[in-house]
Amino acid sequence: MTASKSSRARQARARQAQAQRSQASAASRNGTADKPGTMVKASTLVQAGGSPSRAVAVRGGGADRRGPRSTAREASAALEAPTTTTAPLWFQLVTWLLALAGLGVSIYLTIAHFTDKPLAGCSESGLVNCTKVTTSPQSYVFGIPVAVLGLAFYLAAVVLMSPWAWRWARREIYLLRIASLVVGIGFVLYLLYAELFIIGSICLYCTSVHAITFILFGLTMFAVAAWGIPKRQRA
């Protein structure tokens, strides 16, 4: 009786072991894992040694043999790639039109300076006195007429503010645009001080150029904050 029970117990354990082996074999064929870190389905991560930093991607059931260094290099290259994000077209056209307007006024001031003609529609008495401003000693800087310097500045601004310059995502172009406007703002602040505190009069045409310079400076700084500066391109 005892031998019969022992025999039946051994047979039951054998059947249980065989069932477990069958389940393991079926799970292996289906691509599932009995233990963590042995095998996972495609496009998942396998934890090697229980450390997240050693996780590798599995593609089509096989482990990706690229190590952490290769993945880090690819991520670094993606971050260093030059950006193609630029200001929208309407923004480019606004800055370009403002630069063209500043160029037009600068051309007129330069012509008036060398022909000694009075500026049209500008008062010659009181606070607004264009002739007093344009003929003052402060109308020259380092022996160069301020009108000529303004003309040179806006010739460069028309190029730097053009849609073609905005779309050319070169870091050097962006830095040159910023630097030129910083210099322009510094020059405008000096001229405003000279007009208000030294000459005692203002020129409407000069003031319009100053206002355009301030607006271009503000728009350019906004573009830097909103869309950034392209990364340096490696050779």
As beta bridge partners, residue 21 has none
**Same domain, residue pair 138 and 171:** yes
For the segment 67-77, what is each residue's pLDDT rounded down to a tens digit?
A: 556 555 665 55
pTM for this prediction: 0.63
pLDDT number for residue 6: 57
Domain span at 221: 89-227
Q: What is the CATH number of the domain that holds 96?
A: 1.20.1440.130
Task: Please indicate, yes or no, if residue 218 is contained in any of the structural domains.
Answer: yes
Residues 88, 167 contacting (CB under 8 angstroms): no
**Residue that finishes a domain, picked among 40, 57, 80:** 80
The whole-angstrom distance between residue 222's C-alpha and the CA centroid of its chain comes to 11
**Residue 21 pLDDT greater than 70, yes or no:** yes
Which of 11-15, 109-113, 151-155, 161-165 bottoms out in mean pLDDT, i.e. has the lowest? Answer: 11-15
Number of domains within the chain? 2
**Same domain, residue pair 220 and 153:** yes
**Residue that finishes a domain, picked among 80, 103, 123:** 80
**Same domain, residue pair 70 and 151:** no
Task: Please indicate, yes or no, if residue 68 is contained in any of the structural domains.
Answer: yes
